[in-house]
Amino acid sequence: MARVLVVEDDQFVRSALIRHLTEASHTVRSVGTALEALREVAHVGFDVVILDLGLPDLDGGEALKMLRGITDVPVIIATARDNEADIVRLLNDGADDYLTKPFSVEHLSARMAAVLRRSRTTSGAEPPSRVIRVGGLSIDPLRRQAELDGVALDLTRREFDLLAFLAGRPGVVVARRELLAEVWQQSYGDDQTIDVHLSWLRRKLGETAAKPRYLHTLRGVGVKLEPPQ
């Protein structure tokens, strides 16, 4: 099954998570601080990290940024915070998913399964070898590299997947449900997740929702990517 790192300082919550994940046949390691988590990730290969935000030595949001500096491992945030701005910031900083406390073990299992499925699909499938070109965009799925007007784009894993999927269907309006299914590998989810990644991708393409160049949103319909007119 999966190799899971639980980063949680509450001993009761931590023990419950370890017990549940172990019973589900996962291999589990656990730590109670952000610095311990960084050391673990740097030396041990994990399939997913469950990260609490209320850590004693460092805010989990800052820990997430530091994790993203050394690994692409999927991270599920476990948080008592339900503020929309906080959630958007965490997704922008590289979280793959989040759960608001308290949550059931069944809910955690479903979210973990979805994240692991997306991760394994991305890493296990052989991407197409052809380079996709749309206007000044050049996307190489095999090397997972993208350029705009000859300049390399610094994209996260999810941003690249989203851009490559849309670029492979230039001019076609893709429904949000299809994006969730094909890019996020899940049949349900919050439109906010898509909006956050589209917003971040737009900034890296040098455009905005109000003044789009490549990415165009059709309200109530979906999203399309096409070359500038």
Q: Using one digit for the tens of pLDDT, what is the confidence trace for 5-18?
A: 999 998 998 999 99
Check: CB of residue 78 under 8 Å from CB of residue 53. Answer: yes
* Best CA proximity match to 44, nearest among 23, 30, 34: 30
Give pTM, 2 decimals: 0.58
What is the Cα–Cα distance from 31 to 80, expressed in whole angstroms?
A: 19
- Is residue 176 predicted with pLDDT exceeding 80? yes
Q: What is the pLDDT of residue 94?
A: 82
Cis check: omega of the bond before 127, within 30 degrees of 0: no
Look at 132-136, 190-194, 197-201 and tell me which has the smallest mean pLDDT.
Answer: 190-194
Res. 187 pLDDT band, cuts 50 70 90: low
Is the pLDDT at 30 greater than 90? The verdict is yes
Choose between 124 and 18: higher pLDDT: 18
Q: How far apart are CA 142 and CA 151, in angstroms?
A: 18
Q: In whole numbers, what is the pLDDT of the chain averaged over residues?
A: 85
> Once rounded to an integer, what is the mean pLDDT over residues 94-118?
83
